[in-house]
Every structure is written in structure tokens, then in C-alpha cells.
């Protein structure tokens, strides 16, 4: 009905992003004692970047089977090293366990928000189908 | 990386911290293991070092204990002329293990272990929430 651009598409994209962020946080926690490890995080995509992605790009036409398809659809958020480092241990490790746990909680809360939004939307559609009793 | 793969990363963290705890336990258990004969060396404290390793099958970076090395610090000395390993002056070399340091190291390993466990729990509850979309 609404396709990938609809609210369900946005929610599932957001959930994908949250899952990826949880992976990054889990990696930071696992590396909390690795020497010279700088914690990483995902960049929150800005409106401008989102707009640029949504507007159709000029792509070369695929006239032969051997032509490769562009990988426009399979994008994942970029993983960057955290820039504001609070403290670094003598071994060169900059992970702060508390900060990572807070991040993890944040991800969890947002994930449950997304799940509930999704469910609510489906419920409303069901209501519309069923009609008034 | 998705939620499923983050389990493997956290599990590798658990394993690395467990190895660290095992080495700490060895140190504490051997904190008074002296040599058997004069001129011999007592137990030398051991330490672990962590590193990253790329799991190609999963495409994730795991944590591993890269090496276990000995602490080059000086041994302690104790006057005990009756000891079989005592030198001419009656001194015995004691291991360079400080139980207090080992204890604080152990606490740190324990905290990291708990944090990894929390990460696994969080991933699990998020996955469960997602699956429960199907139920309604």
C-alpha cells in the first residue's frame, strides 16, 4: 500500500539502524580492555543527507546482462571513531563502560518505541478494515 | 551488523574476560609458591593482553586474548633460613604477586563480564520485542 517510503518503511529502517548501533555498542563493551581501542559510534543521518538519498539519482542504463547494478539500496550507516574522548587509560583504551551502557539503554528504549509505533499503525489499519461495529 | 551478530561479539568478550579471570585465579593461588631449591625462581605473575580478530565467516570483529605474558617485576625477599630454597644469607625469593592488585584486577574483569552479559540481555529483549510484532 505505502511501499518502502511509507511510515512502516521508515520504522523498519530506523529499527535496522538501531540494531546496527547495538552491534557497535556491544563491540565497544567487548573491547573495554583492549589496548589502544577507541570506541566507535554511528553517525545520526542528517535531514540533508536523507533528502539527497531520497531524490532519484542519475544512473547509467542497464542495457546488457553483464552490466553491474549499482548498490544504491544496500546502505548501512557509517561507523566512525568517537571524537570526544573523555579519558584514556594507560593502555590507550578509551572505552567508558558507563557511557556504553547508557547508549545501550537508549538504543533499547528507542527500539521498543519503534516496535510499539509499528504495532499501533497495524492496529489502526486493522481498525479501518474492520470498520465501526 | 545486526542484532544476531552482536551476540557473537559479546560472547567473545565474555570468553576473553573469563580467560583473564582464570589467569588472575592462577596468580592468587600461586601467591606463595616459592622455589624448591636454592637458586631457583619462585612463581612469576602472569598477565593477559586483549586484541581484535576479524571473524571472516560472520564479518564481525571479535575480542580475543592475544597473549599471556609474565610480569618482569622484581621478586620479594623474605628471611627464612629453614626454607629449602633459602640462599647463604637465609633469604627466600617470594613471587611478585600482590594479592591486593590481583583483587582489584579481578573486580574489573567482573565488571566487564557483567557489561557483556547486559549487552547480550539487551539484544535478546530487542529481538523478542521484534518477534512479538507477529503475535498481535
pLDDT tens-digit map of B16-36: 999 999 999 999 999 989 888
- Asked if A107 and B111 come within 8 Å (Cβ–Cβ), the reply is no
Q: What is the pLDDT of residue B117?
A: 95
B interface test, pick of A8, A23, A100, A105 with most B CB neighbours within 10 Å: A23
State the DSSP code for B49: E
CA–CA distance, A125 with A130 (Å, rounded to integer): 9
Q: What is the pLDDT of residue A74?
A: 46
Name the percent of chain B lying above pLDDT 90: 61
Is the Cβ of B107 closer than 8 Å to some Cβ of chain A?
no
List the single residue in B60, B119, B133 with the smallest CB-CB distance to A25. Answer: B119
List of long-range contacts for B20-26, beta carbons under 8 Å, 24+ apart: B20/A33, B20/B48, B20/B50, B20/B65, B20/B105, B20/B109, B21/B106, B21/B109, B21/B110, B21/B113, B23/B47, B23/B48, B23/B68, B24/B102, B24/B105, B24/B106, B24/B109
The DSSP secondary structure of A42-74, one letter per residue, reads EPPPPHHHHHHHHSPP------STTSPPP--S-
Q: Is the ipTM of this complex over 0.90?
A: no
Of all residues in chain A, what percent carry a pLDDT higher than 90? 32
Q: CB-based contact (8 Å) between A105 and chain B?
A: yes
Q: Decide which of A133 and A102 is more confident.
A: A102
Give the mean pLDDT of chain A: 82
- The radius of gyration computed from the CA coordinates of chain A, to the nearest angstrom, equals 20
Q: Do A97 and B115 touch (CB under 8 A)?
A: yes
Global pTM? 0.80
Number of CB atoms found within 10 A of residue B34's CB: 20
Closest to B16 measured CA to CA, from B101, B115, B99: B115
Amino acid at each position: 500500500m505505502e511501499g518502502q517510503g511509507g511510515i512502516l518503511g521508515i520504522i523498519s529502517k530506523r529499527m535496522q539502524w538501531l540494531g546496527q548501533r547495538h552491534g557497535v555498542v556491544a563491540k565497544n563493551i567487548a573491547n573495554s580492555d583492549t589496548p589502544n581501542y577507541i570506541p566507535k559510534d554511528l553517525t545520526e543521518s542528517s535531514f540533508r543527507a536523507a533528502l539527497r538519498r531520497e531524490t532519484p539519482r542519475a544512473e547509467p542504463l542497464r542495457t546488457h546482462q553483464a552490466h553491474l547494478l549499482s548498490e544504491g539500496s544496500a546502505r548501512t550507516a557509517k561507523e566512525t571513531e568517537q571524537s570526544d574522548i573523555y579519558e584514556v587509560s594507560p593502555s590507550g583504551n578509551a572505552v567508558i563502560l558507563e557511557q556504553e551502557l547508557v547508549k545501550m539503554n537508549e538504543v533499547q528504549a528507542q527500539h521498543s518505541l519503534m516496535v510499539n509505533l509499528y504495532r499501533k499503525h497495524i492496529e489502526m489499519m486493522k481498525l479501518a478494515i474492520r470498520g465501526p461495529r | 551488523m545486526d542484532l544476531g551478530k552482536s551476540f557473537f561479539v559479546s560472547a567473545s568478550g565474555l570468553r576473553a574476560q573469563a580467560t583473564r579471570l582464570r589467569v588472575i585465579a592462577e596468580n592468587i593461588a600461586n601467591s606463595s609458591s616459592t622455589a624448591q631449591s636454592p637458586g631457583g625462581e619462585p612463581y612469576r605473575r602472569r598477565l593477559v593482553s586483549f586484541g581484535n580478530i576479524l571473524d571472516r565467516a560472520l564479518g564481525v570483529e571479535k575480542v580475543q586474548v592475544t597473549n599471556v605474558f609474565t610480569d618482569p617485576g622484581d621478586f620479594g625477599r623474605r628471611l627464612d633460613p629453614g626454607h629449602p630454597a633459602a640462599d647463604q644469607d637465609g633469604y627466600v625469593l617470594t613471587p611478585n604477586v600482590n594479592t591486593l592488585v590481583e583483587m582489584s584486577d579481578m573486580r574489573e574483569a567482573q565488571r566487564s563480564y557483567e557489561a557483556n552479559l547486559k549487552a547480550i540481555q539487551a539484544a535478546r529483549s530487542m529481538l523478542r520485542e521484534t518477534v512479538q510484532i507477529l503475535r498481535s
